[in-house]
Structure 1
Amino acid sequence: MDKVSLQKVHNLIKPYIHRTPVLTSQLLNAICEAEVFFKCENFQKMGAFKMRGAVHAILSLSEEQKSKGVVTHSSGNFAQALSLAAKGLGVKAYIVMPENAPQVKKDAVKTYEGIIIECDSNIYAREIEADRIQKEKGATFIHPSNDDAVIYGQGTAAIELLEDYNNLDYIYTPVGGGGLLAGTILAANHFSNTCKVIAGEPVEVDDAYRSLISGRIEENETSNTIADGLRTYLGDRNFPIIKAHVEEIIRVEENEIVEAMKLIWERMKIVVEPSSAVAFAAVLKDKERIKNKKVGVIISGGNVDVSNLPF
């Protein structure tokens, strides 16, 4: 994927997405001893960056494929994104969700007219149900993160960030399934000469960190993290991009995620979900590297259950 092709992706999806704001905080700059620019995808349609990849994936389908609908499995944000994108484009969306997905996310999927099929809360149960719907309905499966069209769509957040601030030294993202991280890497490689990409990942689900060490896709034994959007693992489409180009994956503890989330809520007065706070937690842990640098942070989403906050 070259720069011209990525620009075409951005131009294609522009009518269907928001160009989200970039916010700064003098107080957080002082804490980090750096200039930090927050790309606020919590203000994206449906509240997360995943709208970008969902729209691009559906726009990439043939008319025949669109007529039979799309199916995905997701714990929340991609479920909402695909539902809303499909609704806007007149396509039926079947959404396989684990039974323990946050109720706020299930409710949002229903609002966007996605058809929910619940399953056990493990990745294999999700895949089995999605496969069944593919066969029964003829729907096209769109993976939340391990799909080229999705990866290219997710990269447009970083394209916009680099258009606004073209002299960034680093961009930090969270990593779960790897779509945002891979897309951000592609954008940084093609739209900047100097910007490196770093990811934050919860210690409790550190499969991406371990995958870099072993050189193959690792899985997790547990899903015991507050960052519910990151309880998945890399795929064969995004892992090669990440393996070749990510600068580092920084693991953060649960209390560090909560503290980062709390800082953003208190100091920036914006709603972010725990998965978003993981990237900023990595920034706070990496102060030596970023001192006096210009740093971008992708705030990935704001779909949080406000009746169940960790602070």
Structure 2
Amino acid sequence: MKPVNLDDIRDAASLLDGVIRHTPSLSAGWIEKKYGVNVSFKCENLQRAGSFKIRGAYNRIARLSEAERARGVVAASAGNHAQGVALAAQILGIEATIFMPLGAPLPKFQATVGYGATVKFHGKTIDETLVAAFEFSEQSGAIFIHPFDHEHIVAGQGTMGLEILEQNPDVKTVVVCTGGGGLLAGTALAIKSLRPDVKVIGVQAEMAAAYPPSLAAGSPQMLPKMSTMADGIAVGKPGDVPFKIISEYVDEIRTVSEASLARALLLTLERSKLQVEPAGIAAVAAILDDPEAFEGPVVASLSGGNIDPLLLNRVLRTGLATSGRFLMVQIRLADQPGALAKLVSCVGDMGTNIIQVSHTHMNPALAISEVDVELELETRGFEHREQILNQIIAQGFEVVTHY
């Protein structure tokens, strides 16, 4: 196929009209108030099926011939592309089979089935799942719908870039969550074609960042391993189609830590009242990490909001800890009456809410007359955390560990 161009993205926008939501661009006033940078969120977490993926999936599937549609479609996804393909296929009346990696979030699985798709589990990573889906395509004749490495997918995702410019005509910087690169490539192509002065930045989870080494090498490179809570952007190797576009049009790729993702997710939920998944919050995390590096007005993509409630609970706890609002401290006590009461009184005197108390005698490092007590505490910031720890130590308690 010919390289993707602006006309392809505009054509995709026409095809998607009436199918997708033109998601809002909402001001993040709390970021400007704290850091002095004008930031808006492009809320693809409010898109149909909960992410931007419906844009590319529908643009790809709707262009299949009648003969191809009769063969059905197959895709591989950790969840968001799965839902996008399943919904697009349902709208178009086409049978869909979705391969998911083992351990894919339950809500994403349930939503995909809810859109009428057949789900098969295979592999531990999305790259292994892609291989299984491709083999199924060859054996069954179903049309393989790649999550990011196809011109129609990239063009469909690029419609987000058109909307960003329509909604934010004075934008100076656009920051995009990045996995395989379909959304970043399409968005960058749309924006740079119309506004070459706008800076476009991609953001990856640092523990699943395939683009920095690939760009350095001049070709897509496979990561030896990945480990991130941001399953939606955990892609081991960039796609050929988006890689070429990103190499030409994207100004910079940044990476963010797991702690930064958790903190950004927590703050966005609290301050903007928006639920976003870890993969979808990467752009915000990058801005919060280094706000002075982004010239405003800035638009950051919230690329998806599909998060398992159990994962959300763990991420929020991590976010609270990285924001200085949660403290777990393990203390070694003499196993005698009144020792725990004295510890609890010490902590309570610091104006601390005790969330949970647990204790054990089973640690082999303990003497027969000792017990380890673990306190989970709600704190008011890093200074308050330090005050609590200092007070515990000053009262003669032995702190074994804390975080």
TM-score of the two chains, using structure 1 as the length reference: 0.96
Asked if 1:197 corresponds to 2:181, the answer is no
Tell me which of 127, 130, 140 is aligned to 1:127.
130
Tell me which of 240, 245, 248 is aligned to 1:241.
245
Report the identity percentage.
Answer: 36
One-letter amino acid of the counterpart of residue 139, structure 2: E
Trace 1:101-120 onto structure 2 (pairs within 5 A): 101-120=104-123
Q: Which residue is equivalent to 2:45?
A: 42
One-letter amino acid of the counterpart of residue 249, structure 1: I
Q: Distance in 2 between matches of 1:18 and 1:64?
A: 29
Pairwise CA distance, 1:32? 3.4
Pair 1:27–1:76, CA change in 2 (3 A): same
One-letter amino acid of the counterpart of residue 207, structure 1: A
Tell me which of 80, 98, 102 is aligned to 2:101.
98
Q: Which residue is equivalent to 1:287?
A: 291
Pairwise CA distance, 1:124? 4.9
Q: Distance in 1 between matches of 2:98 and 2:259?
A: 32
Q: Distance in 2 between matches of 1:124 and 1:177?
A: 10
Trace 1:1-311 onto structure 2 (pairs within 5 A): 1-232=4-235, 233-291=237-295, 293-309=296-312, 310-311=315-316
Pair 1:65–1:266, CA change in 2 (3 A): same
One-letter amino acid of the counterpart of residue 291, structure 2: K
Pairwise CA distance, 1:123? 4.3
Q: Can you list the C-alpha shifts for 1:99-152, whole angstroms capped at 9, x where unaligned?
A: 111111111111011111110213453233213321332111110011110010
One-letter amino acid of the counterpart of residue 216, structure 1: S
Task: Please say if residues 49 and 154 of structure 1, whose CA atoms lie closer than 8 Å, have aligned partners that are also in contact.
Answer: yes
Q: Distance in 1 between matches of 2:139 and 2:215?
A: 37
Q: Larger relative contact order (C-alpha < 8 A, sep ≥ 6)?
A: 1
Q: Distance in 1 between matches of 2:212 and 2:131?
A: 27
Q: Can you list the C-alpha shifts for 1:45-96, whole angstroms capped at 9, x where unaligned?
A: 0000001000000111111111111111111100011001100110111101
One-letter amino acid of the counterpart of residue 182, structure 1: A
One-letter amino acid of the counterpart of residue 183, structure 2: L
Q: Distance in 2 between matches of 1:46 and 1:184?
A: 20
One-letter amino acid of the counterpart of residue 251, structure 1: T
Between 29-38 and 101-110, report the one with greater CA deviation: 29-38
Q: Distance in 1 between matches of 2:150 and 2:244?
A: 13
Between structure 1 and structure 2, the one with the greater Rg is: 2
Q: Distance in 2 between matches of 1:108 and 1:245?
A: 34
Q: Distance in 1 between matches of 2:26 and 2:105?
A: 27
Task: Please say if residues 201 and 253 of structure 2, whose CA atoms lie closer than 8 Å, have aligned partners that are also in contact.
Answer: yes
Q: Can you list the C-alpha shifts for 1:205-253, whole angstroms capped at 9, x where unaligned?
A: 1211111112121222222111110111311111011111211111111
Q: CA RMSD in A?
A: 1.3
Secondary structure, in 3 states, of the residue corresponding to 1:220? coil
Q: How many residues align?
A: 310
Point out where structure 2 has 5 or more consecutive residues left out of the alignment.
Answer: 317-403
Q: Can you list the C-alpha shifts for 1:143-168, whole angstroms capped at 9, x where unaligned?
A: 00111100100011121111111221
Q: Distance in 2 between matches of 1:20 and 1:300?
A: 11
TM-score of the two chains, using structure 2 as the length reference: 0.75
Task: Please say if residues 261 and 274 of structure 1, whose CA atoms lie closer than 8 Å, have aligned partners that are also in contact.
Answer: yes
One-letter amino acid of the counterpart of residue 60, structure 1: R
